[in-house]
Amino acid sequence: MKPVFIIADNIVSPIALTANENFDLLKAGRSGIQLHHKAISPEPFYASLFNEDAGFKASIRNADVYTKFEQLLITSVQDALLHAPADCAGKRTVLIISSTKGNISLIEKGPLNAEVKRRIALHESARVVADYFHFTTHPVVVSHACISGLVALITGMRLLQSGRFDHAVVAGADIITQFVLSGFQSFHAISDAPCRPFDAKRNGITLGEAAATVVLSVEKPETKDCIWLSGGAVSNDANHISGPSRTGEELHYAIEAAVKEAGVDKSTIDFISAHGTATVYNDEMEAKAITLSGLQQVPVNSLKGYYGHTLGAAGLIETVASVHSLKANAILPTPGFEVSGTTQPVHINKVLQTGIYSTCLKTASGFGGCNAAIVLQKAV
């Protein structure tokens, strides 16, 4: 199989608008989560949301033509392409868009007419972004619950390995609207405080909005700290529409398959970037899966305490942060975690840790019982 390299990336979040700035502020302990009093909820709620003057659309041509969701995608892709060492134009580049809800906020702003129905279609948003950057190939959309970002990366990796493309621009975003928030509130899944992944007192998720982009290429960049995407796999619990596996076996299967494809010994995995939503059942399932994989001694972090759960962008954001962790030889802590609250004790990282690191396992899980795992490695 052809090796697939990560040649550029971006994060646009309420914390900062570039990947480097985001990572520096994560190391300093900055979180975007705040208490909000907004019309989308009758009660105050914690979330990581953009301020009205966030500035993420400042560099977009004719910005007001685009929705907030599209503005986030364009801003993120634009910054990533600016730093890509390869020419990503032309028919050898594919655009892949990852989202769970896209432009769903449009149904809250007026009648559900033909124009709104057209604009809320995810393939329409993908076309809009592709046209903005003059991409000539047909864009691909991945909407696979909360593993969308990782599935988009795996899809990009497979397309490059097949020889159909040389580059894949993988971008994901979601925004928090009344539709999204009320859905999670109906599940009683929203925490009444900033989320606490894997902690004994965790009681639900904190939502967030953001965008992220990863540019994949078969061309190895001429840098000493290059990272490659060496393996990936998906699985499904076939358990419940919203509840995860009771045993963690199915996420364990995805981990095993991703590690096998990457050709790494599990003893060389330096840290795990977990999904870590801070719901009782997700974190319990992940701890069981990590234990079944024999990785319970490997440092684990969840970044949901920084960004909240950013849905279709989460896998991409957390992958970008993990890429920068490998390059900086630093493992980020898990905000909100104090005392272990899972039946299978795993090594949750509580403080910024430094060392020499070369391999990261990234996992994700979502509604419908879906699971995904990828392996990131420093290229030699």
pLDDT at residue 157, as a whole number: 98
Residue whose entry in the numeric block shows the structure tokens 């990261």? 360
The CA-based diameter of the chain, rounded to the nearest angstrom, is: 56
pLDDT at residue 358, as a whole number: 97
- Name, in order, each residue with C-beta under 8 angstroms of 95's C-beta and a sequence gap of 6 or more: 77, 126, 129, 130, 133, 135, 137, 139, 140, 168, 169, 171
Q: What is the pLDDT along the chain (380 residues), one digit of tens a residue?
A: 789 999 999 999 999 999 999 999 999 999 999 999 998 999 999 999 999 888 898 999 999 999 999 999 999 999 999 999 988 888 999 999 999 999 999 998 888 999 999 999 999 999 999 999 999 999 999 999 999 999 999 999 999 999 999 999 999 999 999 999 999 999 899 999 999 999 999 999 999 999 999 999 999 988 878 999 999 999 999 888 888 989 999 999 999 999 999 999 999 999 999 999 999 999 999 999 999 999 999 999 999 999 999 999 999 999 999 999 999 999 999 999 999 999 999 999 999 999 999 999 999 999 999 999 999 999 97
pLDDT at residue 263, as a whole number: 97
Euclidean distance between CA atoms 175 and 51, whole angstroms: 12
Q: Which two tokens stand for residue 13?
A: 């979040």
Q: Which residues partner with 361 through β-bridges?
A: 272, 375
CB neighbours (10 Å) of residue 91? Answer: 11
pLDDT at residue 53, as a whole number: 82
Angle in degrees, CA 279, 284, 289, rounded to 5 = 130
Euclidean distance between CA atoms 230 and 223, whole angstroms: 18
pLDDT at residue 5, as a whole number: 97
Residue 251's nearest CA partner among 216, 219, 276 is 276
Return the C-alpha torsion angle 163, 374, 141, 174, nearest 10. Answer: -150
Q: What is the pTM of this model?
A: 0.97
Residue whose entry in the numeric block shows the structure tokens 């979330």? 47
Residue whose entry in the numeric block shows the structure tokens 């928090």? 176
Burial 103-118 (b: 16+ CB within 10 A, else e): bbbbeeeeeeeeeeee
Pairing of strands 300-301, 4-12: unpaired
Q: Which two tokens stand for residue 231?
A: 């393996």
Residue whose entry in the numeric block shows the structure tokens 């009771």? 246
